[in-house]
Homo-oligomer: A and B are copies of this chain.
Amino acid sequence: MADDALFEFLHMEIVAHVYKEQATREDIDKERVTCVSTLELMGFRVGQGLIERRFTKDCPTFKEDLDIMKFLCKDLWSTIFRKQIDNLRTNHQGTYVLQDNKFALLTQFSTGKQYLEEAPKYLAFSCGLIRGALSNLGLESVVTAEVSLMPSCKFQVVIQKL
């Protein structure tokens, strides 16, 4: 189905555009940081939007943070990436590790270590997406991602207690 690929293609275009745009500027030193945060912020707003849109329709109640994380790993992940998170772990102190063994935005790369350096480009948007979604579910967080072997990916979410 064409629509399955629509998000992936559009995401590739955005990453390429943001990096190309920055490369033509003078401040090349700051390049990497700026691009990552630009993409992260776009993801954040999209994540917020998705939660807002969804919860104007039906509003589940979550008892605790873990329920919110489960919702994110199952429902939200499926609607965005067409599969659930494969493994969710927590230290029960506000840190969660979400492992996706076949992350949709990395499947277009060849597996192995060849393109590991490129991976962060393609994770920034999704880190923001998680942070934005959680934010609109009442949890402020810091989200980072790590790839050790394509196309599997670990997202670490640290909830910021107020």
Give chain A's interface secondary structure class: helix
| Interface status of A1 (Cβ within 8 A of chain B) | yes
Cβ contact of A50, chosen from B2, B17, B46, B49, cutoff 8 A: B2
Q: A57 to B70: give the CA distance in the assembly, Å.
A: 34
| Interface status of A5 (Cβ within 8 A of chain B) | yes
Q: A1 to B6: give the CA distance in the assembly, Å.
A: 16
Tell me if A2 and B46 are in contact (CB < 8 A). no
Closest to A11 in B: B10
Q: A75 to B10: give the CA distance in the assembly, Å.
A: 19
Q: Report A18-52 CB contacts with B as 1/0, cut-off 8 Å.
A: 10010000000000000000100010011001110
Q: Using A14-B14, A18-B17, A45-B13 as known contacts, say yes or no to A1 and B38 having CB atoms under 8 A apart.
A: no
Tell me if B9 and A46 are in contact (CB < 8 A). yes
| Interface status of A114 (Cβ within 8 A of chain B) | no
Q: A42 to B15: give the CA distance in the assembly, Å.
A: 11
Tell me if B38 and A17 are in contact (CB < 8 A). yes
Q: Using A14-B14, A17-B38, A18-B17 as known contacts, say yes or no to A80 and B9 having CB atoms under 8 A apart.
A: no
Tell me if A79 and B1 are in contact (CB < 8 A). yes
A-B contact pairs, 7 of them (CB 8 A): A2-B75, A2-B76, A5-B53, A9-B45, A9-B49, A9-B50, A13-B14
